[in-house]
Amino acid sequence: MKDFQESLIDRFIRYAKIDTPVDISMAGKQRPTNPAQLNLSRLLTSELEEMNIPVFSNEEGFVIGKIPAKGTGASLDPIAFMAHIDVTDAAPNTNVKPQVIRSYDGNPIVLGHNITIDHPDLQQYIGTPIITSDGSTLLGADDKAGIAIIMTLVEYLFHHPELEHGAFEVVFTPDEEGGDGMSGFPIEHLDAHYAYTLDGGAIGGVTYECYNAYTASITFKGVSYHPGDARGRMVNPISMAAAFINLLPRNESPEATDGYFGCYWPDDIKSQGEYVTLKVHIRDHDNTIAIRRMEALHAYARAVESSFPNGSISVDIHEAYRNMREEVDKMPIVMQRVYQAMNVIGVTPIIYPTRGGTDGARLTQMGRPCPNLFTGAHNIHARSEWLAIDAAYKAFQILIEMIKA
């Protein structure tokens, strides 16, 4: 099995070096948002075909490989393992230069560009391989670690045709970081009864609860006048937007909450002439409270309108994804399969709610429950991102146990 740890390292480095940035400005306009993502989806398609795996892929960047059951594995439910191709734009994300520390020594890891990694989880990986960037960019372990783990599983089966196992699919998706990738997911090509994203963090992490997520697009319309003639006439839409933002409870912001506490998250603002548009995300594990937050946004809009005569505000809210727990709970086998595999490998499950969402949340809405499993990625979305290979390798071993007959 040691050879497959090396394969996992090699695969991750190869994938991390391929630029696959998301382009948030193109979310909902084209898929993938950045055509560069297709370079990795095409490579994965080619690698699967070289291992004799039937593949569906398209020019939107989706890849679905189908591995049929073998022997007594035919009695198992077909499942899928999923990871996303794109990387976030929250940090520099192109020309990634992975650095491999073959045997971590327990000290803070000093990278270039004044980046130091000193994370408490590092201490459990002394003497094992760690991968970082060179400090100039993120690493891209979110989610190329997931891709490498899944592809190493396929490679393992290619070299061990004697293993009896259930049918499963490997699924790679674009634009997870843009929030709209799964809108184009070709669900008709997926046979799995349920699935698992490989898009988590620390070893043992399992997530089957996420936010109920909504996004509000709020438009402030003012009245334009030359400032010399503005008295009693001008309505400044920027001032309207500022007044609105100040009504959002500061103690219900992302930076002031954790665990199961929800939040309002102002995320983007643009001004053009008489109009200002503001994007506010609503996040809560309890959908009843999320609905109250939506009602509050409408109330804040009316309050600001009353303070700016002749100005107007429109609030348009759409659903992004829903908490997957209710659907996962309806099918106990989904989590049982995870726990049984972890027990065999000797990994203790750490169950926690995620304060975000994954493609799995969207797939769950499509009728295929899809919790999220760990990959060993840490400090994601940052230049200090790092990947614990020992954790990633255990995730690979867990996937083997999950498909075994």
- What is the distance between the alpha carbons of residues 308 and 361, in angstroms, rounded to a whole number? 40
Active site residue 86: yes
pLDDT of 354 reads: 87
Confidence of residue 153 (pLDDT cuts 50, 70, 90): very high
Question: Are residues 170 and 81 in contact, defined by beta-carbon separation less than 8 angstroms?
Answer: yes
Which residue type does 137 have?
T
pLDDT at 184 over 70: yes
Element (H, E) at 396: helix 389-403
- Could you give the percent of the chain with pLDDT greater than 90? 94
Catalytic-labelled residue, pool 23, 47, 60, 86:
86
pLDDT of 220 reads: 98
Task: Work out the end-to-end distance of the chain between its first and last CA atoms, rounded to an integer number of angstroms.
Answer: 19
Give the three-state DSSP class for 159.
helix
Active site residue 176: yes
Mean pLDDT of 114-141: 97
pLDDT of 284 reads: 96
Mean pLDDT of 184-190: 96
pLDDT of 5 reads: 96
Give pLDDT tens digits for 247-273: 999 999 999 999 899 999 999 999 999
Average pLDDT, the chain: 96
Give pLDDT tens digits for 355-384: 887 899 999 999 999 999 999 999 999 999
Mean pLDDT of 77-84: 98
pLDDT at 2 over 70: no
Catalytic-labelled residue, pool 176, 209, 284, 385:
176
Mean pLDDT of 49-62: 97
Burial 277-302 (b: 16+ CB within 10 A, else e): bbebbbbbbebeebeebeebbeebbe
pLDDT of 330 reads: 95
Which pTM value belongs to this model? 0.89
pLDDT of 405 reads: 75
Cα–Cα distances in Å, from 97 out to 34, 112, 134, 202? 20, 11, 6, 22
pLDDT of 233 reads: 94
Angle at CA 187, nearest 5°, toward 163 and 320?
Answer: 120
pLDDT of 358 reads: 82
Mean pLDDT of 143-154: 98
Mean pLDDT of 330-348: 97
pLDDT of 1 reads: 60
Give pLDDT tens digits for 189-208: 999 999 999 999 999 999 99
pLDDT of 253 reads: 97
Burial of 67 from C-beta contacts in 10 A (0-12 / 13-18 / 19+): buried
- What is the distance between the alpha carbons of residues 313 and 323, in angstroms, rounded to a whole number? 29
Mean pLDDT of 283-307: 97
- The topology (CATH level 3) of 2-210+323-403 is Aminopeptidase (3.40.630)
Place of tokens 């990986």: 125
- The topology (CATH level 3) of 212-321 is Alpha-Beta Plaits (3.30.70)
Return the domain boundaries, the chain. Answer: 2-210+323-403, 212-321
